Chains A and B, each alone.
Chain A
């Protein structure tokens, strides 16, 4: 038999047995789609956490000096009590750290609370109101769209000026120019000097409902006790510089707190890695469960394909007998079935890839997850889905091809 003949025969067969071929094809298709889809979701969640979540909360190459971690999942009571006993970070701690770090870094202080902002008889409830120093905007990558950030001088003197988020500007001033206008936070007036460009949402929470005023302005009374900051933010250019800066900050704080070498730090230096380590825990679970689910779906899909193929071959034992009686060799029979299975696997695999990619694009459009299709998942999907399909088709066929023609012919 000519090599091309096997493919032609297989094609004729698939056309003749549309339903059965269709089911086998769907088996491969679902397996591949599911694998690519699940993989791209896990990938998407991962990218979302790393890029957006951790980046927004802490920032790249950035650490926070705090009394206790800001991001605290699953902490027991005794740890909480211990954290509550720690001394707070003071203005003078902050000044000492900022002055003491010799590595080139950007620094800012920050204290925040959720407070209502008012103007023109309108309110924005639960806005994140922050008392900070002037570099805060640079460190947080906040783009000033209108006006300007407050200056170092204003920060030092505690001038009551404020930079507001775009949602706050829209709600309080509804299209009118907010610059130079006054907003009130707990009754205290602040002059709006800048508006930050729209940032969008994170987990459905607006990132634009905030206001930032100088740390030494009256806002301090609303966000922290006098002379206390939530965090000193330090942003370095590289990871190495960040590590050096952390070492220096730790040294400065330890000596200010008079800690002996045996004593643990009574403050924390929190990096985005710290936040991410929590995520890494979840990720570990996802990466065990995800592929587990995929594997189960492929096994189930494989069993379905195998059953369909076994049925098909059992049904076609007589056909195999006829073909052998007409001069088909064992290898001719095998090649025909191999071509059939390969066609089903290829077609199912291609449809699966297309659907998997579309699924991931759909996820990108309708959810905030940046779902991406990894080439590895396509490879794995095709290898597993296709492999299962081929194996399921060829194994029964190779058994049938070994039968004596007369035995195969007697099968009904």
Chain B
């Protein structure tokens, strides 16, 4: 925590801080009541960190992940990504950030069921406006990186759970994002496969990738270098593991 920047509204984050949230809140209007999922989260993540966000269900960790991933917009507060104030951006700008800066890995994989592994990995490149030959090369390279060079033409239902998650990781990486966001990436996998996937994350981190991962399993969080715990929409603990 000593490395954190003293941040006040109106400031700009230091260049090596990839993610900075300041008094970030998110309320959900459930009709009869307003659920305050986040109540003012201050969080700073530097380049090449490997952070696990933990907390019991309802603590707001998935909400935080969706806000960091630009899938959702905060009610109040600031969110800075790569010294750009994301919380102030319009729809199309957010789409561009999701495309270029963020690689998302979901618990349920979220692959297009009728498309091949290769096409699934190509998708972010399509929206980045990259030509088809270049796209295929890069998608194939990303799939090779996660060890699926021989499964490129398979559809998701022809792959095992671990292989599907590898396809999703390849898709998250294909655009060289600033951060890799994983929301319960092993939630739908058995323990052996989970270890494999965590191995992939560890290796990516070693190659310099910034990784942020939401999990409720302490065993999985073990793999991260820093563990942030949320409770009732606020940061409860923030611990660096001794390397």
A332 and B110 contact, CB distance less than 8 A: no
Name the B residues within 8 Å of A332 (CB-CB): 95, 127
Given A1-B127, A406-B66, A406-B71: A326 touches B171 (CB 8 Å cut-off): yes
A330 at the binding interface (Cβ < 8 Å):
yes
**Count the B residues whose beta carbon is within 8 Å of the partner chain — how many?**
30
Name the A residues within 8 Å of B127 (CB-CB): 1, 323, 326-329, 332
A304 at the binding interface (Cβ < 8 Å):
no
The distance from the CB of A20 to the nearest CB of chain B, in whole angstroms, is 11
Stretch binding the partner chain, chosen from A9-17, A27-35, A234-242: A9-17
A325 and B91 contact, CB distance less than 8 A: no
Distance of A17 Cα from B112 Cα, bound (Å)? 13
Total A-B Cβ pairs within 8 A: 73
B126 and A1 contact, CB distance less than 8 A: yes
A405 at the binding interface (Cβ < 8 Å):
yes
Name the B residues within 8 Å of A330 (CB-CB): 91-92, 95
A12 and B123 contact, CB distance less than 8 A: no
B196 at the binding interface (Cβ < 8 Å):
no
Name the B residues within 8 Å of A201 (CB-CB): none
Given A12-B119, A324-B95, A330-B92: A406 touches B72 (CB 8 Å cut-off): yes
Given A332-B127, A406-B71, A409-B110: A326 touches B98 (CB 8 Å cut-off): yes
Q: Which of B26-40 contact A (CB under 8 A)?
A: none
Name the B residues within 8 Å of A5 (CB-CB): 126
Distance of A13 Cα from B99 Cα, bound (Å)? 21
B15 at the binding interface (Cβ < 8 Å):
no
Distance of A406 Cα from B96 Cα, bound (Å)? 16
Distance of A319 Cα from B113 Cα, bound (Å)? 9
Distance of A5 Cα from B119 Cα, bound (Å)? 13
**Count the A residues whose beta carbon is within 8 Å of the partner chain — how many?**
27
B124 at the binding interface (Cβ < 8 Å):
yes
Which of A2, A325, A326, A405 has most B Cβ within 10 Å? Answer: A326
B126: nearest chain-A partner, CB-CB:
A5
B110 and A327 contact, CB distance less than 8 A: no
Q: Which of B67-109 contact A (CB under 8 A)?
A: 69, 71-73, 91-92, 95-96, 98-100, 104, 106
A-contacting residues of B (Cβ < 8 Å)?
A: 66, 69, 71-73, 91-92, 95-96, 98-100, 104, 106, 110-112, 114-115, 119, 123-124, 126-129, 131-132, 171, 175
